[in-house]
Amino acid sequence: MMDFTVLTLFPELIDAFFEHGMISRGIEKKLITGSSINIRDFSTDRHKTVDDRPYGGGSGMVMKPEPLQAAVLYAKKKMPESKVVLMTPQGTRFSQAKAWELSCANEGLIFICGRYEGIDERITSCLVDEEISIGDYVMTGGELASMVIIDSIARLIPGVLGSCESPKSDSFSDDRLEYAQYTRPEEFEGLPVPEVLLSGNHEKIRQWRKRSSLQRTFLKRPDLFRKNKLNLEEKKILMQ
Ligand code: ADE
């Protein structure tokens, strides 16, 4: 059972996420656990302050170290083996490969979601095991990033997805995009479903899907296409 604990100033955002879709199903099935911790609950002053002005001046506020430290230690006490992950645009870029790695390697993950101009550097240096970014853009806080990461890790844990869906055929699992999908009706807006998919010939369908996957990767993500050499079967399929 893998645990996801999210330290945040907006626990309602995270709680709503844990209560919906496949993630809530995974929790019901006891394959994962998910909870939020309100960093403000660990502030000890009258006003429940969690931020302060930056030393050296400048605009914006910085999250104070004491409430964050107390929140992390509280979370670690419950899950001592968990890895502490800071959501920050300065972290290493998240990817499907990273999702696989984190889904295998950990009893749990404790996410720190920053707000304002960031968190006191001493928390990063003393308590954070890994800094992760979900892309080269800046959001107002780490909450959405933590949900992106939890969502993509949780669906890789055996049993979280329905038994028919397998993350093995996902886009990116082998640096290829997934093949085109169709469902009923057989014709929509004058556009038919490719005939081979109605044929029942599994080998032909497999080859068509491989070709579709390669074509899509070439057209939509030439950077991925270039990254991977074509194997013999792929070359043959593309020559047909
Ligand atoms: N917090 C703000 N922007 C972020 C990003 N791009 N990735 C992770 N955490 C963030």
Residues 63-80 pLDDT 10s = 999 999 999 999 999 999
Claim to verify: residue 120 and residue 93 sit in the same structural domain = yes
Read off the pTM: 0.94
Ligand 1 atom closest to the Cα of residue 132 is 8
- The set of catalytic residues is 89, 117, 155, 170
Q: List, in order, residues 6 or more apart from 138 with CB less than 8 Å away.
A: 89
Closest of 218, 205, 149, 208 to residue 177, by C-alpha: 218
Q: Say if 164 falls within a structural domain.
A: no
Q: Is the CB of 112 under 6 A from ligand 1?
A: no
Closest of 115, 111, 142 to residue 36, by C-alpha: 111
Last residue of a domain, one of 154, 179, 209: 154
Q: Say if 131 falls within a structural domain.
A: yes
Task: Count up the domains in the chain and report the number.
Answer: 2
Residues 141-199 pLDDT 10s = 999 999 999 999 999 999 999 866 778 778 887 889 999 999 999 999 999 999 999 99
Claim to verify: residue 7 and residue 101 sit in the same structural domain = yes
Q: Is 142:88 a contact under the CB 8 Å cutoff?
A: yes
Best residue for ligand 1 mutational test, from 137, 139, 146, 147 (most atoms within 8 Å of Cβ) = 139
Q: Is 214:222 a contact under the CB 8 Å cutoff?
A: no
Binding site members for S-adenosyl-L-methionine:
114, 134-139
